[in-house]
């Protein structure tokens, strides 16, 4: 028999052929002389029905198989009499490879997502998480394809770094020193000269500063990797470890940046709809009944755009009793972002021109000297999924801003070099991978779209 490497709805070239399939029992129904097994072979979303009968040598053992046991089945793939699926497998041999213990926690009944988080090592075996992690994989590919097709160079930026890109001090320290019991020097500071790298290092919060330097060699680049934030926010949208896609484009300004972001979002939505239709139909039917219309609408509409100042006006005039008061100069909270995108625009919207005080040091100062060339993309259901900006390419302005913020310019000598050695205007953004995945699937908790979530007080597995 031919070993089936990948099942799909179009596996009809195997029809009436002898095949071998490996997988796990999802359901089992038996009567006296025959039975049905739904097997998940892991290669497509959905289960394959196996029909078996007394003709099997080990019929009685097969009839007693427990859910999630690993089996190998040989038989003939035939057209299914049932409309639900195109074909089924008539078993001639069922080899029991690994019997599943009786205390297996995933029995037929529906489990809550909260419960499934406690067994994150088993949840990819459920329909919902099978769909989530399949779409996650396809989405990652779509993102690479979008940039690669445009000629962007993929840059692997470091995970361990000695700079704090966002300047928010939310970094996880990396050290080989016993920091708790270490003797401090006479100034009360830890002597990092003795540390592995000879200086203070952390896990990166963003690959931006590094990828910016590469944009000055390749023009269009992107990085896509894990990033880490020791943010205390215990919300459904924040994880301590998440993945970020960060393109950087040279000879480009904020409007080029927004154009790229909009094109990318539309591209990946289309790609996933085309390449994961069954998973997307599942999310539409079981997670969010408005999902497909909503995504269709996003693909076919122009994203909205307002300035931060306009946004503040709209929010103030809305009369909505927000938990956090809106005031020019304060950052927008998720409730404000969601109001703007869900109630006012009813589609994705870019907010530009934030006050410099609430944004990072590298953003280009606008002519009003109060705001910066920043853009956040807000989407219904999630809020911010992208944060980006045009970068400050003017060396003197950048140095002045860093000094104002108390950053040690000597630590950023390499970043400043980029402004001195043939600098040009450039821009980029960061897309939260989990946030866009939530947006695409309708899943409402970031813990349910990342395999082993890391959140405050939770680093199980």
Is 123 or 435 the residue whose CB approaches ligand 4AD more closely?
A: 435
- One symbol per residue from 177 to 206: x for binding ligand 4AD (CB under 6 A), - otherwise; what is it? -----------------------------x
Residue 231 engages ligand 4AD in binding (rule: CB under 6 A) = yes
**Binder of residue 348, out of ligand 4AD, Mg ion, none (CB less than 5 to 8 A by kind):** none
Residues in 370-399 at the binding interface with Mg ion, rule: CB under 5 A = 387
Q: Is 432 in the site for Mg ion (CB under 5 A)?
A: no
| Cα distances (Å, whole numbers) of residue 334 to 52, 54, 91, 385 | 54, 60, 54, 11
**CA 237 to CA 235: how far, in whole Å?**
5
H/E run at residue 226 = strand 220-228
Task: Report what 49 binds from ligand 4AD, Mg ion, none; CB cut-off 5-8 Å by kind.
Answer: none
364 binds ligand 4AD (CB under 6 A): no
Residue 374 in contact with ligand 4AD, rule: CB under 6 A? no
Stretch that binds ligand 4AD, among 193-201, 235-243, 261-269, 297-305 (CB under 6 A): 235-243
Of the candidate residues 244, 265, 272, 398, the single one contacting ligand 4AD (CB under 6 A): 244
Distance CA 122, CA 116 (A): 8
SS3 letters across 334-356: HHHHHHHHHHHHCCCEEEEEEEH
Report phi then psi at 38, rounded to 5.
-95, 125
- Dihedral of alpha carbons 298, 299, 300, 303, sign: positive
The edge-to-edge listing of strands for the beta sheet with 201-203 is 160-161, 201-203, 173-174
Figure out which of the listed residues 94, 239, 268, 373 binds ligand 4AD, where binding follows CB under 6 A.
239
432 contacts which partner out of Mg ion, ligand 4AD, none, CB within 5 to 8 A by kind? ligand 4AD
> How near is the Cβ of 279 to ligand 4AD at its closest, in Å?
22
Q: How big is the CA angle at 440 (ends 438 and 446), to the nearest 5 degrees?
A: 10
State the number of binding residues for ligand 4AD (CB under 6 A): 24
Q: Which does 430 bind (CB under 5 to 8 A by kind): Mg ion, ligand 4AD, none?
A: ligand 4AD
CA 140: distance to chain centroid? 8
Dist CA 119 CA 105 (whole Å):
9
Rounded-to-integer distance, Cα 70 and Cα 24, Å: 5
Range 437-456, binding ligand 4AD (CB under 6 A): 446
Q: Which two tokens stand for residue 199?
A: 């200086």
Nearer to Mg ion, 280 or 377 (CB): 377
Among Mg ion, ligand 4AD, none, the one that 206 touches (CB under a kind-dependent 5 to 8 A) is ligand 4AD
Tell whether residue 435 is a contact of ligand 4AD (CB under 6 A): yes
Give the span between the Cα atoms of 57 and 74, in whole angstroms.
13
Which are the contacts of 198, defined by CB distance < 8 A and separation ≥ 6? 192
426 binds ligand 4AD (CB under 6 A): no
Q: Is 165 in the site for ligand 4AD (CB under 6 A)?
A: yes
Size of the site for Mg ion (CB under 5 A): 1
Interface with ligand 4AD (CB under 6 A): 165-166, 206, 208, 229, 231, 238-239, 242, 244, 246, 384-389, 428-430, 432, 434-435, 446
């Amino acid at each position: 028999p031919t070993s089936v490497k990948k099942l799909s709805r179009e596996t009809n070239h195997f029809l009436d052929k002898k095949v071998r399939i490996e997988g796990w029992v999802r359901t089992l129904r038996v009567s006296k002389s025959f039975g049905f097994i739904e097997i998940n072979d892991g290669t497509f979303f959905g289960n394959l029905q196996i029909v078996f009968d007394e003709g099997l040598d080990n019929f009685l053992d097969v009839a007693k198989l427990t859910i999630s046991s690993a089996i190998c089945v040989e038989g003939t793939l035939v057209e299914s009499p049932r409309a639900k699926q195109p074909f089924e497998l008539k078993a001639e041999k069922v080899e029991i490879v690994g019997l599943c213990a009786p205390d297996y926690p995933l029995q037929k009944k529906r489990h809550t997502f909260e419960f499934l988080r406690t067994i994150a090592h088993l949840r990819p075996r459920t329909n919902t998480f099978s769909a989530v992690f399949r779409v996650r994989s396809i989405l990652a590919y779509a993102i690479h394809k979008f940039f690669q097709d445009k000629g962007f160079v993929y840059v692997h930026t470091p995970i361990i770094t000695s700079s704090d890109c966002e300047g928010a001090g939310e970094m996880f320290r990396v050290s080989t020193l016993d920091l708790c019991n270490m003797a401090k020097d006479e100034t009360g500071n830890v002597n990092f000269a003795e540390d592995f790298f000879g200086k203070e290092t952390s896990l990166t919060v963003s690959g931006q500063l590094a990828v910016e330097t590469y944009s000055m060699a390749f023009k269009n680049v992107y990085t896509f990797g894990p990033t880490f934030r020791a943010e205390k926010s215990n919300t459904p949208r924040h994880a301590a470890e998440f993945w970020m896609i960060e393109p950087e484009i040279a000879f480009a300004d904020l409007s080029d940046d927004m154009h790229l972001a909009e094109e990318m979002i539309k591209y990946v939505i289309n790609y996933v709809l085309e390449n994961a239709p069954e998973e997307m139909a599942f999310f539409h039917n079981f997670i969010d009944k408005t999902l497909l219309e909503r995504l269709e609408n996003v693909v076919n509409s122009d994203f909205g755009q307002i300035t931060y100042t306009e946004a503040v006006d709209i929010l103030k005039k809305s009369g909505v009793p927000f938990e956090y008061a809106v005031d020019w100069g304060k950052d927008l909270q998720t409730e404000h972002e969601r109001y703007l995108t869900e109630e006012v625009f009813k589609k994705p919207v870019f907010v530009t021109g934030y006050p410099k005080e609430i944004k990072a040091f590298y953003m280009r100062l606008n002519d009003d000297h109060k705001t910066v060339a920043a853009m956040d993309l807000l989407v219904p259901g999630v809020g911010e999924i992208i944060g980006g900006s045009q970068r400050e390419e003017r060396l003197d302005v950048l140095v002045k801003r860093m000094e104002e913020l108390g950053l040690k310019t000597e630590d950023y000598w390499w970043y400043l070099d980029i402004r001195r050695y043939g600098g040009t205007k450039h821009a980029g953004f960061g897309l939260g991978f989990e946030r866009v995945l939530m947006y695409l699937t309708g899943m409402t908790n970031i813990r349910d779209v990342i395999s082993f979530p890391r959140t405050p007080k939770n680093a199980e597995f």
